[in-house]
Structure 1
Amino acid sequence: MNSLPQELVERVCVFLTRDDLKNTLTLSRSFQYASERASKAYTTFDLNSSNTEDFKKLYAGRRWVYLRHVRYQTYIPPSAEVADAEHLAKHNCRESPQELREKDELFTEQIKSIFDTIKSLEDSSSEGKLQLTIYAPVREVRETCAHRKCISWRLHLLSPDSLPHLGSVRALRIEDPRIIYPLEDNNSLLKIDLRVIVDLAVKFPRLEYLGCKLFAGSGWTPYYNSEVARTYSRDCDRPGPLRDTRLGFAKALDNASLPSTLREAQLDFLWPMSSAERIDHDERIPNLAGSNTYDLFSSSLRALSYGLRRLELKLVADASLFWPSAGSTSYPNLESVCILFHMSTPAGRWYFDGPDGLGSDAEGFQVDEGSYPPLEDTSDDEALDEEVDDEGLNTEIVNNKRFRVRPNNEVLSPFLTAFAKAASEMPKLKEASLWSPLRWQTGDAYGNSDELGKNIAKWPDRPLAWGITYIAPKTFGFHFEGQHYSQSRQLFWTTGTWRPSDELHDLFGRIGDQSVELLEYWGLDNYGKEMLPLREVFDQFQIYGRRHPACAWPVDKSFIIHKTLQ
């Protein structure tokens, strides 16, 4: 066995099952190495604070080159283990500045441990090629007070400049691990400050991919039947910390030197979508842009995209995401763009109204000192807790009013204009989609709402969508084969009865090589030409990941490789 060429040994092991590979491990040193590699048993490791030494021992030698994915679930102990009893007695409801600092220190300690552990292997061996995924902590809450479970404050990374640079990390993702309904569970999801994404990304000089899946809401907590439950739940999503984390991200990104190797970004700031769409369309929402004429968060993401080839975003954004408020820009490398924008704007307005302009005059409210959770118990907190002690906590969820399905041209047109201008400055663009998820669920707000809903969509009670898609010539856009391959440029206006102005229509016509014919499609036959489609159409327009087989558009065999005919 020792006389066989290593290439042949590797080839043989590729075709063996996991059980067979267990047997070939002991045949020879060559088969041992090849079997370990082919089994993929060492490609992923779930690192935590208690197994760092095991991790180092396992990957200190040859197995380091097998490793492809390191996952780390951060952990914050129950608050009863963090603060002493006397401290908790003074702060039964609200977290104090001391407790917030302690959480930041614990989170920072774990991030530093990840970096130091990977750095030690790099120093003793060589640079690897890893994806690092960090999960936000889910904290057990043992206190009976629901205020302790509904937290708006975010976890911060302290002294990020002290972290070492890691050449092995080529992909970074930061995620919320699961959906938590704190009033119905004894857990709380601790939100990570958005600027942590930037602070970590700059530490990876060979980073190629940057991703996140994080909750960054704006009044999207469940709408409970009980006023007491609604009061508690608002503490999960106070606009003050939300505004601050968006501004902090923008400031960090504006001052950061991201690695020149970065080519792909997949940033989901609307996770989970079930929460993002739960917003009541009659609710006033915060003005997160403040006195600025544009949203700094959106503008910073535009700067991030200049060097990318693929960009997928889910977020609340304004026109500065695509085009600066003054001057011009270009996107020399972008090939694939998929933007899911929320129907609300950073300034507190809405991109969509109800029928007959309902809700078009809505304005956002200003974020002020009252937009933050208190840092000590209040008489209102005590009264609320006493009411729950006496009557219990009703967590029955009721449906919000959701009627915004008609574009508000005053607000939406500048957004679309900026997108069209930006897309026309993308010389390598192969596919682009700009869309928004919509819902129609009004109850009796319009009398016979069922009949009105049938004028909006074929299935008005199901998740809907509104959007525009571009596919370049000779391209299988968004992995689709068949009818969506063409020698021409293609624009799909899946916008119901809405039509762009002549000026806006002309701007979209400039996307791509204008010497090539442009084909335009208005609506989809399956859903009614003048009606909104089901959301499942646009759910498939993702640059990354496997698409659902129920998609109304053709499905090919691949799920991640972008294919372009030559």
Structure 2
Amino acid sequence: MDHLPQEIINRMVIYLDRYSRQEQEGIPLTGKHSGKSSALPSYATISKQWKEAVEFVTFHRLDVRSEDLSLLRTIVTPNRCKYVRRLSYKILLPEYSEEQGKRMETIEEQEANNEVFTQSIVDLLSILRQWEEAGLLPDLRLFLQDPQSPSDCNEFERRLRSTYLALSKIHRIPTVSSVSYLQINGGYRRTTLPTVGLQLAAFLPNLKHIYGEFAEVGEQITKTKMRSTFAKVFEQTKLLRGSAAEFGFYQEAPMDQRTATFSLLPPGALYDPLSASLRVFSENLTSFVLDAYVDATLFWPSSHETCPTPSWPSLKKLKIAFNPVAPSGDWYFVGTPEEDDDEQFLKHGNPNTMDPFLTAFAKATQQMPVLDTFMLECEIGYGIGFWELSYYAPGVKADWSGDWGDEDTTAVRRLYYTVGEVWRPDWFVAETLRSIGQEKHGSEVIERFLGPRSWSSKSAWSWL
């Protein structure tokens, strides 16, 4: 056994029993999972080679809580740092009483939470910086889980959803060059301000992939202010050329499509600043995935902007899930109720909003010379399903399968429309989309208009 290559022993140890779902989860720093101790350490006594293999598996993926940072310093010794590739970090916020839980947080409580939140990030990155300065930290994937107080529970939902967690005094944050992937989950219970991910990116100079999930909550004025703030931070953020970004800004559209919607644009604004800043941010990327309220300036500058012609020289994958309501409050779809109490009836593209949106998109694709796949998708309503456009270059597998056999493996370009029976793209949009990849792959293209698709079908976003 001792004569086997170390790589073989490492692979053998990977398959030893640790915990249930061991392949999906990292190992808690405490060595316990759901009350069960790991059996893995006992194998380290077999030999020096087995000890190295056990430590390779044990420290490859770690789950750490902010209260356990002292253990992280103690247990992950210099000879073990080299094994750490994925670190999941859970920040614990201060406890509060039941009486406090029944009311909204005070300004003082919000500031206290922000201070603990920020200091917990500073403390973790300080440890990573020490490892890095000692030449011990390899390429690292960092996952920031939803922050939580031990007092949080469903009964206190109003308190939990009323404010955003934010960074304070960010000049304290140390720079760490070894983090290449950052994921922030900030929209489950306590909502993290979307600017946090981009602010942290400024201290991670070699970041190549950022993923963030956030929820837009609160009153109209709160959401409008938050979007404006986020737009300003985006304007100041640039990832390395060739990077990837995925963002989800989840906000439910009105269930009752008979109701009017309100604008999220700043007072006096003629376009959405957040959409415009996302456009500029995306020009450096190879992959851009977005779920958000957006308008046409996501793809092309408004006539009221002063900026150069946009260009996406490296973009290969573009996937946009847009809300059926534009940031201006206008619907992207039209329809007629079949009954007086019909709440879900918008089925067809609205020429006044959808046509400018798609014209801007079509113009943008002319500046994407290596685009392999795009998807524009909107869930119109629970009773209607999806509106969708998608394109796949030869050799790129479709995200979901239709009724045409092995067409998704063909060597021909494919363009699919799921747009209802009434609306059709205008001449410019149709011709421009047909021309994507033509110079590289030839003129032949499969173009299909498909029937309705709902959640009963395989979601095109299942790859997320």
TM-score bracket relative to the smaller structure: 0.7 to 0.9
Give 1:285 shift.
2.8
Range that drifts further, 138-147 or 11-20: 138-147
Query: 2: CA distance between counterparts of 1:345 and 1:124?
Result: 50
1:486 to 395, 400, 410: 410
Which letter maps to 1:317?
A: V
1:349 to 327, 330, 353: 330
Which letter maps to 2:263?
A: N
Q: Which one has a larger percent strand, Structure 1 or Structure 2?
A: 2
Give 1:342 shift.
0.9
Which residues of structure 1 form unaligned runs of 5+? 179-188, 218-236, 359-398, 442-459, 524-530, 546-566
Which letter maps to 1:491?
A: L
Query: 1: CA distance between counterparts of 2:198 and 2:242?
Result: 12
Whether the 8 Å contact between 2:102 and 2:156 is mirrored in structure 1 is: no
Q: Structure 1 residues 425 and 486 mapped into 2: Cα distance closer, same or farther (>3 Å)?
A: farther
Matched, 1:340 2:321: yes
Which residue of structure 2 lines up, in the alignment, with residue 209 of structure 1? Answer: 209
Query: 2: CA distance between counterparts of 1:400 and 1:156?
Result: 41
Give 1:538 shift.
6.7
Matched, 1:119 2:129: yes
TM-score with structure 1 length normalisation? 0.69
Whether the 8 Å contact between 1:468 and 1:494 is mirrored in structure 2 is: yes
Deviations 1:163-198 (A, max 9, x none): 1111221111110374xxxxxxxxxx3211111111
Which residue of structure 1 lines up, in the alignment, with residue 437 of structure 2? Answer: 512
Q: Structure 1 residues 260 and 147 mapped into 2: Cα distance closer, same or farther (>3 Å)?
A: closer
Which residue of structure 2 lines up, in the alignment, with residue 526 of structure 1? Answer: none
Whether the 8 Å contact between 2:372 and 2:396 is mirrored in structure 1 is: yes
2:87 to 58, 67, 70: 70
Query: 1: CA distance between counterparts of 2:206 and 2:408?
Result: 35
Whether the 8 Å contact between 1:152 and 1:238 is mirrored in structure 2 is: no
Q: Percent identity?
A: 24
Which residue of structure 2 lines up, in the alignment, with residue 30 of structure 1? Answer: 49
Matched, 1:15 2:16: no
Give 1:15 shift.
3.4
SS at match of 1:214: strand
Whether the 8 Å contact between 1:279 and 1:400 is mirrored in structure 2 is: no
Q: Structure 1 residues 301 and 145 mapped into 2: Cα distance closer, same or farther (>3 Å)?
A: same
Q: Structure 1 residues 143 and 253 mapped into 2: Cα distance closer, same or farther (>3 Å)?
A: closer
Which residue of structure 1 lines up, in the alignment, with residue 273 of structure 2? Answer: 296
Query: 1: CA distance between counterparts of 2:171 and 2:367?
Result: 35
Give 1:150 shift.
5.9
Range that drifts further, 109-118 or 20-29: 20-29
Query: 2: CA distance between counterparts of 1:143 and 1:496?
Result: 43
Give 1:106 shift.
2.1
Which letter maps to 2:211?
A: G
Query: 1: CA distance between counterparts of 2:169 and 2:11?
Result: 45
Give 1:313 shift.
0.9
Which letter maps to 1:25?
A: A
Give 1:510 shift.
2.7
Matches within 5 A, 1:93-242: 93-139=103-149, 149=159, 151-176=161-186, 178=188, 189-217=189-217, 237-242=218-223
Whether the 8 Å contact between 1:404 and 1:440 is mirrored in structure 2 is: no
TM-score with structure 2 length normalisation? 0.83
Which residues of structure 2 form unaligned runs of 5+? 18-38
Q: Structure 1 residues 67 and 281 mapped into 2: Cα distance closer, same or farther (>3 Å)?
A: same
Query: 2: CA distance between counterparts of 1:334 and 1:357?
Result: 43
Which letter maps to 2:144?
A: I
Q: Structure 1 residues 537 and 335 mapped into 2: Cα distance closer, same or farther (>3 Å)?
A: farther
Query: 1: CA distance between counterparts of 2:328 and 2:213?
Result: 23
Give 1:352 shift.
1.4
Which residue of structure 1 lines up, in the alignment, with residue 362 of structure 2? Answer: 420
After the TM superposition, list the runs of 4 or more consecutive aligned residues in structure 1 that deviate by more than 4 angstroms: 19-24, 91-94, 139-148
SS at match of 1:410: coil
Deviations 1:349-374 (A, max 9, x none): 1111232799xxxxxxxxxxxxxxxx
Give 1:239 shift.
1.9
Q: Point out which structure has higher relative CO (alpha carbons under 8 A, 6+ apart).
A: 1
Which residue of structure 1 lines up, in the alignment, with residue 351 of structure 2? Answer: 409
Give 1:503 shift.
2.6
Q: Aligned residues, how many? A: 431
Q: Structure 1 residues 427 and 535 mapped into 2: Cα distance closer, same or farther (>3 Å)?
A: farther
Which letter maps to 1:18?
A: L
Whether the 8 Å contact between 1:153 and 1:241 is mirrored in structure 2 is: no
Q: Structure 1 residues 139 and 276 mapped into 2: Cα distance closer, same or farther (>3 Å)?
A: farther
Give 1:9 shift.
3.0
Which residue of structure 2 lines up, in the alignment, with residue 285 of structure 1? Answer: 261
Q: Which has the larger radius of gyration?
A: 1
SS at match of 1:54: helix
Range that drifts further, 98-107 or 425-434: 98-107
